[in-house]
Structure 1
Amino acid sequence: MNDPLCFCNSGRTFELCCKPYIHNVSCPETPEQLMRSRFSAYATKNFQYILDTYTITQRKNLTLQVLSQGGDDSHWLRLDVLDTFTDNRTQAGEVEFVAYYRQNNVIYQMHERSKFFREEDQWRYDSGVLFEDGGVYKPQRNDSCLCGSGKKFKKCCI
């Protein structure tokens, strides 16, 4: 039996992709790896990992309860990383992505450019700027399903 693919849409198995990060076996080496692992943590509802990977300043204003509000009702479907930038000199990075999720039988897309900083020798998420094209996902007539099956959106699992 094949191992399941990772939630982050990397094309690798969860076992070899985000799971080692989420289970604290290893640490992401780039902002993109951290972004992907945070998406997988949302997909698996591992809110402790999400909290732990915020910058120290941001973490002061968050709790597990706050992070899990609404998260239990969300089903994360797909992550598309559009662009990444890392400046090793300043220990900062950015990742632009689109994440798709279902909540109350409605599919949404979130398009964000996230900022990351290296603290205590680990990459951490700090903040993000949302693009205006986020909101309810409106697939075009022949769009493929978000699950990656290659089937048309209307004739698949969503």
Structure 2
Amino acid sequence: MNCYCCSNKPYSECCEPKHKALVVSESAEALMRSRYSAYCTGDWRYILNTYAKAQRETLTEDALRESAAGTKWLYLAIVTQSNSSSPQPGLQAQVEFKAFYALKHKLYLMHETSDFVVEDNEWRYTTGVMHPDTDIVKVGRNDACFCHSGKKFKQCCLKRI
């Protein structure tokens, strides 16, 4: 099975080892992808643990679960990433991404630039800024699917909504 993060790698070789704490994310982008996959699988503990310490103090697994209730994640695209190298103390990075998801049978786009920092030799998520196009997405049934499958939307992700 391909990984939820749309890397075209098997889940068992991509995000699953991170979710099982067998390895740490080698870059901010890898952490972004593994967090997305954790949202897909409902791994709230992993998501909570990948926040920076300051943000983690105000969050709980239950709060994360409630905020994502009913959300079905469909596709992740990394737009840009900066300074996303091996973790070194104090290093910071940004990852801009677009995540398509369904909620109550409607299609949405989350377009965010996320900030990451290295704490305790691991990448951690701090904050994110939403782009103005974050909202409900209108896709025609016969339009090409946003997931780049080469299929029409009606033959692809529409079936998952």
1:62 corresponds in structure 2 to 59
2:8 pairs with 1:11: yes
1:97 corresponds in structure 2 to 97
Deviation per CA, 1:13-41: give whole Å up to 9, x if none.
11111111111110001000000000000
2:26 pairs with 1:50: no
User: Aligned residues, how many?
Assistant: 155
2:72 pairs with 1:75: yes
State the alpha-carbon separation in 1 of the partners of residues 140 and 53 from structure 2: 41
Note the aligned Cα RMSD (angstroms): 1.8
State the alpha-carbon separation in 1 of the partners of residues 28 and 39 from structure 2: 16
1:130 corresponds in structure 2 to 130
Q: Secondary structure of 2:116's partner?
A: strand
Q: Which stretches in structure 1 are left out of the alignment for 5+ residues?
A: none
2:33 pairs with 1:36: yes
State the alpha-carbon separation in 2 of the partners of residues 146 and 46 from structure 1: 25
Q: Which stretches in structure 2 are left out of the alignment for 5+ residues?
A: none
| Runs of 4+ with deviation above 6 angstroms | none
Q: In the alignment, which of 18, 23, 26 is matched to residue 23 of structure 2?
A: 26
Q: What is the Cα deviation at residue 150 of structure 1?
A: 2.0
1:117 corresponds in structure 2 to 117
Whether the aligned pair in 1 keeps the contact of 2:73 and 2:102 (CA below 8 Å) is: yes
2:153 corresponds in structure 1 to 153
